Amino acid sequence: MFKVKIMHKCKWCENLVEKVSEKEKLCDYCRFEIFNLAKSRLRVISESYNIIKESSNLETIISRRKIMIDYLNEFIKYEQKGIEVYSISINDAINSTNFESNKRILELLTLKFEKSIQKINKSKTIKSKQNNASKFVKEAMIIKDNYFSFAENFDLCTQTAEELIKIVLSSN
Ligand SMILES: [Zn+2]
């Protein structure tokens, strides 16, 4: 005789299929599509992460961070349906991206600060002291505005930038 065929609902496309994956409850098509996308996005995400950690260029850091966040945001819709694509949650991934880029931007600012202080100390005229100081302050203000909020280290990075600005302003 025959029996009733048991059908399963795919968690993502909601089609009824004979078989869904055990863990994610996805049909073969969705499972392939979603995890293939996750893999290829992860390549760009990790490449960007390494660039952020090594770059000395503020624009590069900002644009790479944007790519990472945009890519990660694409997966929120899956997570909302209970489909975990990465080993950490999308929210945690976004937070650590913001944290790392803030950290790197602060490192750049500190380097600029050290160079500026040297220049200021070596300056022979008051005018050149002032020029070097105001150049640093200008750059530091731009950097400060580019810290990414919603990161644990946002306040710390902002405060540090303000302190460095104060030191430079009082040194001339
Ligand atoms: Zn499906």
**φ/ψ bin of 135: left (φ > 0), alpha (ψ from -120 to 50), beta (otherwise):** alpha
pLDDT reading at 172 higher than 80: no
Average pLDDT along the chain: 93
Q: State both tokens at 41.
A: 């996005």
Dist. CA 42 → ligand 1 center (Å): 22
The reported pLDDT for the residue numbered 151 is 85
- CA-nearest of 87, 54, 85, 50 to 68 is 50
Assigned token pair, 115: 């160079």
State the pTM of this model. 0.84
Question: Is 148 a residue whose pLDDT tops 80?
Answer: yes
Q: In the predicted model, what is the mean pLDDT of residues 15-30?
A: 95
Expressed in angstroms and rounded, the spacing between residue 10 Cα and the centre of ligand 1 is 5
If you measure from the C-alpha of residue 8 to the centroid of ligand 1, how many angstroms do you get, rounded to a whole number? 10
**Would you list the domain boundaries of the chain?**
105-172
Predicted confidence (pLDDT) at residue 149 exceeds the cutoff of 90 = no
Cβ atoms < 10 Å from Cβ of 15:
13
The predicted-structure confidence for 115-147, as pLDDT tens digits, reads as follows 999 999 999 999 999 999 999 999 999 988 888
Among 135, 156, 132, 152, smallest CA distance to 144 is for 156
- How far apart are the CA of 32 and the centre of ligand 1, in A? 9
Angle between helix 28-54 and helix 90-122 axes, rounded to 10 deg: 10
Residue with tokens 């979603």: 34
Structure tokens at 107: 């490192």
Instruction: Read off the pLDDT of residues 57-107 as tens digits, 9 standing for 90 and up.
Output: 999 999 999 999 999 999 999 999 999 999 999 999 999 999 999 999 999
CA distances from 114 to 49, 51, 83, 109, 126 (A): 26, 23, 47, 9, 19
